[in-house]
């Protein structure tokens, strides 16, 4: 279980993460959503010990996570937002380096490397240097690298950014399967659809604060399961309703350019966070 207790991170006067309290159960799939600068990556940075908190603490199964706690660090793998790989190393070397850094025995390292690279269609490119890989391939390699160490906790900072639709779907399937096998996952993403499909809980973050935590389904139900998009002059507006009947009734009175659909997590995000952004 991951527990963040009163976690705060300040950069001089700027508060990037403000008194964050969060609990992610073992085997949970948690999505951290928020606009740019909300504090998501800083939170991942503190969980990966790259940044030290200004206040508060991080506990993994009750034990404090610090830079010196190598036994806890062994259980965590991170896919960072940036590519964070040596450009002059080949795929094979990147995997070997990671295995060595995490003390994975040689035989296991080789076997797992082959399995993961084959699964992600990277095996044929294993002699290619990172410099020569496409953005999507680099992302896949970062995920392969993170999984090589068989972590208990996987931290993913926008793992599908830059991937094409097919690769993203493949990644989702992989993450679902891993989570099914009790891997605890913390994901930050800008793709609301991704969070809605994958996560069993999501947290909405804004200006360093965790505004709300709930299941995607509960958040959508709170807003209203049915949405009607309609044109207010030049701008599109959305209205939300608890029942289909209410939505249809509204639709019948609305202009011609109106449409009924199911509410998504993106609507929740836009309503709760997006409106604040517009007003700022």
Partner 1 sequence: MGILTVLWEKWVEFKRDFYKITLAAMIAPLMYILVFGMGVQTLSYGQSYLNFLIPGVVAMTTMNGSFNAIAQNLNVQRLYEKALDQVMISPTPLWQFVVGQIIGGSLRGIYAGGVILVLVLPIGTGLCFNGWSFLVMFLNGAVFATMGVVVSFYAKSHTDVPRFSNYVIMPMAYLCNTFFSADSMPHGLREIVGYLPLSQASSMIRRIANREAFSHGGILILFAYLAILMTMAFCFLYKKRNL
CA distance 174 to 164: 15
Residue of 12, 71, 255, 279 interacting with partner 1 (CB under 8 A): 71
Instruction: Tell which one of 23, 74, 128, 190 touches partner 1 (CB under 8 A).
Output: 74
181 binds partner 1 (CB under 8 A): no
- Please name the residues in contact with 184: beta carbons below 8 A apart, sequence gap of 6 or more: 1, 2, 24, 25, 26, 27, 28, 29, 152, 153, 154
Contacts with partner 1: how many residues (CB under 8 A)? 34
- Asked if 18 interacts with partner 1 (CB under 8 A), we say no
Q: Is 103 in the site for partner 1 (CB under 8 A)?
A: yes
- The reply to whether 119 sits near partner 1 by the rule CB under 8 A is no
Strand partners, 259: 229
Of 70-78, 209-217, 233-241, 246-254, the segment contacting partner 1 by CB under 8 A is: 70-78
Q: Exposure string (b/e) for 163-178, b if CB count within 10 Å is 16 or more?
A: beeebbebbbebbeeb
194 burial (CB, 10 Å; 0-12 / 13-18 / 19+) is buried
Q: Which residue has the tokens 């009175």?
A: 253
Q: Does residue 8 belong to the site contacting partner 1 (CB under 8 A)? A: no
Q: Which of 13, 68, 181, 253 binds partner 1 (CB under 8 A)?
A: 68
Distance CA 60, CA 175 (A): 21
Nearer to partner 1 by Cβ, of 21 and 87: the residue is 87
Residues in contact with partner 1 by the rule CB under 8 A: 11, 45, 48-52, 54, 67-68, 70-71, 73-74, 76, 78, 80, 82-89, 93, 96-98, 100-103, 145
């Amino acid at each position: 279980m991951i527990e963040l207790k009163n976690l705060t991170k300040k950069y001089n006067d700027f508060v990037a993460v403000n008194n964050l309290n969060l609990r992610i159960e073992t085997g949970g799939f948690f999505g951290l959503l928020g606009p740019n600068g909300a504090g998501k990556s800083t939170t991942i940075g503190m969980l990966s010990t790259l940044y030290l908190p200004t206040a508060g603490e991080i506990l993994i199964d009750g034990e404090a996570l610090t830079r010196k706690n190598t036994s806890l660090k062994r259980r965590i793998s991170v896919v960072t937002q940036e590519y964070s790989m040596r450009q002059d190393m080949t795929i094979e070397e990147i995997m070997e380096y990671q295995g060595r850094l995490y003390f994975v025995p040689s035989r296991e390292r080789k076997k797992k490397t082959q399995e993961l690279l084959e699964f992600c269609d990277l095996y044929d490119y294993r002699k290619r240097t990172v410099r020569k890989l496409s953005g999507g391939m680099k992302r896949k390699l970062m995920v392969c690298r993170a999984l090589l160490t068989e972590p208990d906790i996987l931290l993913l900072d926008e793992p599908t950014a830059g991937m094409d639709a097919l690769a993203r779907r493949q990644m989702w399937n992989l993450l679902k399967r891993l989570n099914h096998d009790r891997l605890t996952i913390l994901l930050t993403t800008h793709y609301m659809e991704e969070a809605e499909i994958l996560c069993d809980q999501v947290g909405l973050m804004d200006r360093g604060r965790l505004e709300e935590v709930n299941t995607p389904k509960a958040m959508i139900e709170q807003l209203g399961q049915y949405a009607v998009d309609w044109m207010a002059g030049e701008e599109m507006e959305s209205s939300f309703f608890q029942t289909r009947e209410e939505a249809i009734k509204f639709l019948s009175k609305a202009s011609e350019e109106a449409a009924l659909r199911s509410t998504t997590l993106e609507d929740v995000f836009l309503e709760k966070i997006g409106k604040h952004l517009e007003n700022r």
